[in-house]
Amino acid sequence: MSDMSPRVHRVIDRARNGRVAAEFIAVPADTVAALRNDLERAIEGEVRFGAADRALWSTDASNYRQAPYGVILPKSKADAVTTIALCSKYDVPVAPRGGGTSLAGQGCNTAVLIDFSKYMDGVLSLDAEARRAVVEPGCILDTLRDAAEKHHLTFGPDPSTHDHNTLGGMIGNNSCGVHSIMAGRTADNVHALEIITYDGLRMRVGPTSRDEYESILRAGGRRGEIYRAMRDFWDRYGERFEAAYPKIPRRVSGYENLDQLSWDKSFNVARALVGTEATLVTVLEATLDLVHSPPARVLLIVGFPDIFAAADSAGEAVSMGAIGVESIDQLLVDFMHEKHFRVKDIGLLPEGHGWLVCEFGGETADEAIAKAQPLKRGMKASGHAINLVTDKNEQKKVWGVREAALAVTAHVPGTGPTWPGWEDSAVHRDNLGKYLRDLWALFEKYGYKASVYGHFGDALVHCRVNWQLHSELGLENWQSFLGEAADLVVRYKGSISGEHGDGQARGALLERMYGPELMEAQREFKRIWDPRGRMNPGKILDPYPIVSNLRVGPQYNPPEIPGRFAYSPETGSFTKATLRCVGVGACRRHHSDQGVMCPSYMATHEEKHCTRGRARLLFEMLRGDIITDGWKSEAVEESLDLCLACKGCKKDCPVQVDMATYKAEFRSRHYEHRRRPRAAYSMGQIERWAAMASHAPRLANLFLRTPGLSIIAKGVGGLAQSRTVPRFAHETYRSWHRRRESRNAGERVLLWPDTFNNYFRPETAVAATNLLQTLGFAVDIPKQQLCCGRPLYDWGWLDQAKALWRRTLRSLRKDIEDGVTLIGLEPACISAFRDELPALFPGDPLAAKLAKQTRLLSEFLCDRHLAAKLAAPSRAALVQFHCHHHAVMTTEPETSLLKSIGADAQILSAGCCGMAGSFGFESAKYDLSLQIGQRALFPAIRNAPSRTAILADGFSCREQIEQVTGRKTLHLAQYLAAQ
């Protein structure tokens, strides 16, 4: 903190509340080096102490940033135990963490971080009869829930990050989620834990009978010492803690479960440790209780005049049997409209300006509907608009709106960035409406703006607020607000943390809840378990000051880099674009049934290969104190190299991080005056080589596909020897179009002869031409051979790409000005018209007009309502959408078109095929390409009946499917024209 200004130091001093905050535990570099060497020799797992790894794990989803000494990815309990032993030997702090989604800073520290999420991520056993499961700490919540649902069971707590958070992290934070009404907090669903202390004691803890307790004391040793100390502790402080604990369901502040040490609660040591945020022990294994999961669910959405009225009615919904009561406010809806995010899904909300989403469950749909009826009748009688949602897909959309709230509220045009810091206060249900009005008044007093939403069934309020973290005055105001907000919660006998824990964000406020004596008691409890203070130091107790260790604070002053793309939300700043990721971790999903991103992470489970990891490395590159080689950074290049530029994050990321664009931006600078890899010249310049090969296609095919010769060609081009180079067509589409019989009748449209369908698969463009002519259109093509430059972006050849666009704009000027529709067949190319073109030529009206009037074939057919003129297909179809189709356009027109013509079409949810343009052709990426496709796509194709048509509009998808599965593919144009 020595580089901070005197004013910031004064703010930090005030944050200490008269007590000494945690001091930074400095470990000498030679000690860190010795520890690293010992770890590399001693454990099977991964030991990562390099700059890039320290950068990747330097922050979580909070406002805080602390670079670790190193990161351990254990492969077994033995690895974790050895890691703790060696850290203890060298007196180095330890911080186990979950999925890195913590909002209070407990997931980052200047320590050795232990990340269980890559390897120790399994469900070890599940006993349906006993309703109990044993899991590893890195197990993703949905992995357990999916296994439990086979028995109509579930793990009750379910935060919105359920598809990528870890159960170890949930145990650390005492997480809750939507269904805590039904099942309680994580603490209420933990039966036992296997743990290890910093001084090496490994044991299983859980409920303890009096006889077991006496037996432990007789055995003596460190375990007996801990149990005796805990019993004495509770005898001295128990009554005072029970009196001080808020009498609310969402009590997640401080060491909030010490009452589990009473005999009335079976002296459950495991539950007492839940919520202590890795400040006491490391969890090696967890035995969890499961609850019944009603197989049928319905949502009753109720509209209110405002969010305060919704809060007033939350208790009524709970009393009528709802198993989940969530809230959405008008400001969140406004933000989603401004960001064009899930706008159609918002349409499921009834009339109102504040909403409760009330879930009811039953054994059958009729039973669930019947349970919702009393609340429905009551709300309707009170004049509230309602919508009873019974369709599962629509329910999923509603939950998608609610679960995206945290990230959607992070970057809103006109509001500025918003941050966590007061995101999960909780009170009693009876006081929720009153508390929310007072909280809103406090926001207005300080000039803050925040969407408020959350788990209203348990009276918990979520929000992100536009604190001014960049200025010293802003930090002072933030500190002052937090003090008043904490006092407000205490007046309502609530909890300053109701789900996300205290960490560094709220640890300094705990004395306002507990008073100095009980805070000292909690320090005493920590000393029982961690007398040297080396477990996640500076979190919860004696925390680092709230305004220190900020990821983006007054001292954050990176170079301002004007983007080569527009970056409209960031006013053209690439530097600001690297701040877009808020660390929520939605890109760390393990399943592709919820979107496309992030295919390389799904295959590797590597942090550096998810969108969050790449964004973090770019941020650290510009910051410059861990990654110090700037645009020349090989660590950043290595991370971005396995980005498939699928653009999935542009659609699926709730803050719309656009990693494909960031990759192009980085590579345009990284390879400036440097030679690119061989594949960049062979595949990145494919339009140039294809044009040359079209003059002698048979000769080109002979060279590229003949054994022996092809080995040389692939070697020179950096291509995988196992790949088959696509065959050049003997006649290009443009040649066919020139010699075909001209038909000038009907509306004139331009068909875009993209590189792939012109030189390699002209039959697709021929089918599209015949189809459009049959529908009454005069099909023309550009006079010149033009190219959108799609393969160039991935390799950062932005100057070449812009030159191609200028040529296109010149050549098509008259058609653009006349409003002639340009129809494309290749989704990757059409996405370039929609995305890269306006981003490279911001403010150019001709570019904007061309982007707007360029349509994918399916879009054009839907725009003109032409489905009725198409024949019903004779074959069923399995449909694989190109990633860019999903991310930049929308797959709805094609899906709707297939439905309208009566096609028996199954839409695959396989995500990325793994080919991704040149990616799957490169020798170094071939295996990963197959691994990505094998996750879901290849098995689905192989299992499809032989007569089923395999539809794939993307050239790369078609090549991947045909080369790996041997199944022939069709473009939509061919499928429709064949009927």
pLDDT tens column, 308-329: 999 999 999 999 999 999 999 9
Give the model confidence (pLDDT) of 95-143 as tens digits. 999 999 999 999 999 999 999 999 999 999 999 999 999 999 999 999 9
How many CB atoms are located within 10 Å of the residue 558 CB? 16
Pairing of strands 822-824, 777-780: unpaired
Look up residue 718 and give its amino acid. Answer: G
244-264 residue pLDDT tens? 999 999 999 999 999 999 999
- Token readout for 227 is 């149990």
Alpha helices by DSSP H, listed for 864-936, are 883-887, 892-900, 926-934
Tell me the pLDDT tens digit for each residue of 385-440: 999 999 999 999 999 888 888 778 887 777 778 999 999 999 999 999 999 999 99
Cβ(498)–Cβ(176) below 8 Å: yes
Overall average pLDDT of the 348-352 stretch: 96
Reply yes or no on whether the pLDDT at 915 is more than 90: yes
Longest dimension (CA), the chain: 99
SS3 124: strand
pLDDT at 411: 79
Instruction: Tell me how far the alpha carbon of residue 93 is from its chain's centroid.
Output: 29
Alpha-carbon span 380 to 304, nearest angstrom = 11
The answer to whether the CB of 578 falls within 8 A of the CB of 619 is: yes
Exposure string of 626-651, with b = 16+ CB inside 10 Å and e = fewer, is bbeeebebebbbebbbbbbbbbbbbb
Q: Report pLDDT for 339.
A: 79
What's the pLDDT tens digit per position in 144-163?
A: 999 999 999 999 999 988 99
Look at the block and give the residue holding tokens 């009869």: 129
Which tokens sit at 604?
């590797």
Q: How confident is the model at residue 591 (pLDDT cuts 50, 70, 90)?
A: confident
Contacts 24+ apart (CB under 8 A), 571-577: 572/842, 574/662, 574/665, 575/622, 577/658, 577/662
**pLDDT score for 385:** 97
Instruction: Return the pLDDT at 978.
Output: 83
d(CA 209, CA 694): 82
pLDDT at 406 (0 to 100): 78
- Number of Cβ within a 10 Å radius of residue 672: 11
pLDDT, residue 417, reads 85
Residue 18: predicted pLDDT: 36
**pLDDT the model gives residue 400:** 87
Contact 792, 801 (CB under 8 A): yes
Query: Do 620 and 935 meet the contact criterion of CB atoms below 8 Å apart?
Result: no
DSSP state of 643: -
Q: Please count the residues of the chain.
A: 979
pLDDT at 742 > cutoff 80? no
pLDDT higher than 90, residue 628: yes
In the β-sheet with 123-127, what is the strand arrangement from edge to edge? 123-127, 132-135, 282-289, 190-196, 202-205
CA dist., res. 457 & res. 322, Å (int) = 9
Q: Which of 5-14, 165-174, 545-554 has the lowest mean pLDDT?
A: 5-14
Spatial strand order in the sheet of 46-48: 46-48, 70-73, 112-115, 94-97
CB-based burial label for 496 (10 Å; 0-12, 13-18, 19+) = buried
What residues are paired with 326 via a beta bridge? 357
**What's residue 743's pLDDT?**
66
Mean pLDDT, rounded, for 564-587? 93
Rounded alpha-carbon distances, angstroms, from residue 153 to 129, 133, 370, 593, 649: 10, 11, 22, 21, 32
Other C-beta atoms closer than 10 Å to the C-beta of 377 total 11
The torsion defined by the Cα of 604, 608, 611 and 612, in degrees rounded to 10, comes to 120
Q: In what order do the strands lie in the sheet with 354-362?
A: 324-329, 354-362, 296-304, 386-389
Mean pLDDT, residues 342-351 taken together: 91
Give me the chain's average pLDDT, please. 94
In the chain, % of residues over pLDDT 70: 97
Q: What percent of the chain has pLDDT over 90?
A: 90
Mean pLDDT of the region 804-825? 98
Q: Is-contact 369 294, C-beta < 8 A?
A: no
Contact 60, 102 (CB under 8 A): yes
Type of residue at 706 = T
Q: Would you say the C-alpha torsion 136, 142, 143, 148 has a positive or negative sign?
A: positive
Centroid of chain to Cα 250: 25
pTM of the predicted model as reported, rounded to 2 decimal places: 0.94
